[in-house]
Amino acid sequence: MYIGKVVRVIALFDPSSRLRPLKFNWSGRLIHVKEVTYTWQSRGGEGAIYHFSLTDGDALYELSYDSRTLLWKLENIEA
Amino acid sequence: MEKTIICIDMDAFFASVEQRTDPRLRGRPVAVIGSGHRTIITTASYEARRFGVKTGMTIYEAKRLCPSIIFVVGNNDKYTHTCRELEKIYRALTPYVEIYSIDEAFLDITGLEHLYGGPERVARLIKGRVREGFGIPCTAGIGPNVLLAKLACDMAKPDGIKRIRQEDAEAILENLPVGELWGVGQQTEKRLKAMGITTCGGLGRASASILRARFGIIGERLKAMGMGVWARPLITSEGEPDSIGHSTTLPEDIWNRPDIEAHIMRLSEMVGKRARDYGYIGKKVSITIRYPDFETFTRQKTLQMPTNDTHWIYIHALSLLDRIRLKDRIRLIGVRLAGLVKDHGQISLFLEDEKRNALLKAVDRIKDKYGDSSVTWAASLRCSIHDHKGVISPAWRPSGVRLY
């Protein structure tokens, strides 16, 4: 399901994985990231957008981080 | 010195990426499809292939063969990003890399093998790095030329490593059907069969002069392929493109002239932008039309002055459309700019042209800065930008003009 909403994220800037979301708020709940399953980049004009597929053990989420606006978005949820 | 070529082929690439992305898909029959409702299977996982599901099938055919199949709409950004990252893994080992397609590459490691402990060790190293970085499987074929490396790769699928040495090639090729050879298509296979040649062994023993008489300049190449000695060099840099084109299979068949014009406008914009990005102008504009029954045809015209101006590509494409009496609704439209030459930025004599060039440059800069959908031509607004989420071309490469 497409969401496309800006969300609050706690992330780790780690030299080994570079950037890794750990927790985020959605719909009044704090979602704990259990596994980042895939990462990729796309272009949004001049800036890169970093995409993260992740799971909390139940649902599959896609978060994106826009390097131009420095905002995180929850793109999709697949329950 | 005998060459050492490695062919790396990602196993069921798009499906493997999707199974990696969603843990619930792992070990289950999965097919990656386009976003339109009449899309086809672009890749099937090995679990789906066991039921007979193949690339190119409709979703209905796939469902009939495998009722439990799961369809996943492909994500081109994910695959193109992965392909770019894979290229970095290859280039860390050798500078001689040919990215043959989005999921296939050839590496020339001649003279470098000993640094890594032999070709098989290089292959294992690559497979390990791909698995570690992306969690997806690939197969490596090793041979003295691209033909045998590719054959070894095909024989080792999935997730394997195989080496064919030159001295083993004759025995392997002797009874191998010619159609299994990389580069021998169905038509060539049919023509060879008509000559009584069905195996690679037979092809290698065939008279070069007879093959040349039947197949022209590729006749001798076919003989060399049959013998397993065809030494096609790696194409490590892209040559000058012949043409730049885009096509789109429409979400619904259309008949209405304004709808057709809107799609031609959008395709002209994509073609013009790409030509300008890479500094080409073209002397020929063509449009391709496909009817629902898959009858497909192309109409082309030669321009008095070469161009890469979106407006003129559109106007010439429309003039080609005017000459066609459509007999049915349209399933697919394509626009192509051909006869490309480098644009040396000739100074225009007319103020109007100067203004147009300045406008195009401004639009291109906005698109580069804020993304392709940030600004567009009003004439293309009738077609939704979300329509264009088709299947990525297998010819996609991480660099060069063939980016789409």
**pLDDT by residue, tens only, chain B of 404 residues:** 789 999 999 999 999 999 999 999 999 999 999 877 667 899 999 999 999 999 989 899 999 999 999 999 999 899 999 999 999 999 999 999 999 999 999 999 999 888 999 999 999 999 999 999 999 999 999 999 999 999 999 999 999 999 999 999 999 999 999 999 998 999 999 999 999 999 999 999 999 999 999 999 899 999 999 999 988 899 887 777 889 999 888 888 998 999 999 999 999 999 999 999 999 999 999 999 999 998 999 999 999 999 999 999 999 999 999 999 999 999 989 999 999 998 877 666 677 778 888 888 899 999 888 887 788 888 777 775 444 455 666 666 776 665 44
Phi, psi of B141 (to 5 degrees): -115, 135
Kind of pairing between the strands at B138-143 and B161-163: parallel
**Residue from the list A42, A55, A78 with its beta carbon closest to the beta carbon of B77:** A42
pLDDT digits (tens, 9 = 90+) for A5-50: 999 999 999 887 789 999 999 999 999 999 999 999 998 777 899 9
pLDDT score for B403? 46
ipTM computed for the complex: 0.93
Distance from CA of A46 to the nearest CA of B (A): 5
**Residue from the list A43, A45, A55 with its beta carbon closest to the beta carbon of B23:** A55
pLDDT digits (tens, 9 = 90+) for B216-263: 989 999 999 999 998 889 988 777 788 999 988 888 899 899 999 999
pLDDT score for B153? 97
Q: Which residues does B256 contact at the CB level (< 8 Å), separation at least 6? A: none
Contact list in A for residue B134 (CB cut-off 8 A) is 38
CB pairs under 8 A between A and B: 42
CB contact under 8 A, B21 and A78: no
pLDDT score for B371? 80
CA distances from A20 to A26, A75, B130 (A): 17, 16, 20
Q: What is the pLDDT of chain B when averaged over all its residues?
A: 90
d(CA B123, CA B120): 5
Q: Which residues does A59 contact at the CB level (< 8 Å), separation at least 6? A: A77, A78, A79
d(CA B339, CA B278): 14
pLDDT score for B404? 43
pLDDT digits (tens, 9 = 90+) for B268-280: 999 999 999 999 9
pLDDT score for B354? 81
In DSSP terms, which residues pair with B161 in a beta bridge? B140
CB contact under 8 A, B22 and A60: yes
Asked about B104 being catalytic, the answer comes back as yes
Chain B residues near any Cβ of chain A (below 8 Å) = 17, 20-24, 75, 77-78, 81-82, 134-135, 367-371, 374
Answer positive or negative: Cα dihedral of B296, B301, B302, B306. Answer: negative
Is cis: bond before B394, omega within 30 of 0?
no
pLDDT score for B299? 96
Q: Which of B98, B104, B261, B269 is catalytic?
A: B104
What is the DSSP secondary-structure string of B281-332?
A: EEEEEEEEEE-TT--EEEEEEEEEEEE--HHHHHHHHHHHHHT----S-EEE
Start-to-end CA distance of chain B, whole Å, equals 38
pLDDT score for B346? 67
Chain A residues near any Cβ of chain B (below 8 Å) = 35, 37-38, 40-46, 51, 53, 55, 60, 78
pLDDT score for B386? 45
What is the DSSP secondary-structure string of B49-89?
A: HTTT--TT-BHHHHHHH-TT-EEEE--HHHHHHHHHHHHHH
Contact list in A for residue B371 (CB cut-off 8 A) is 43-45
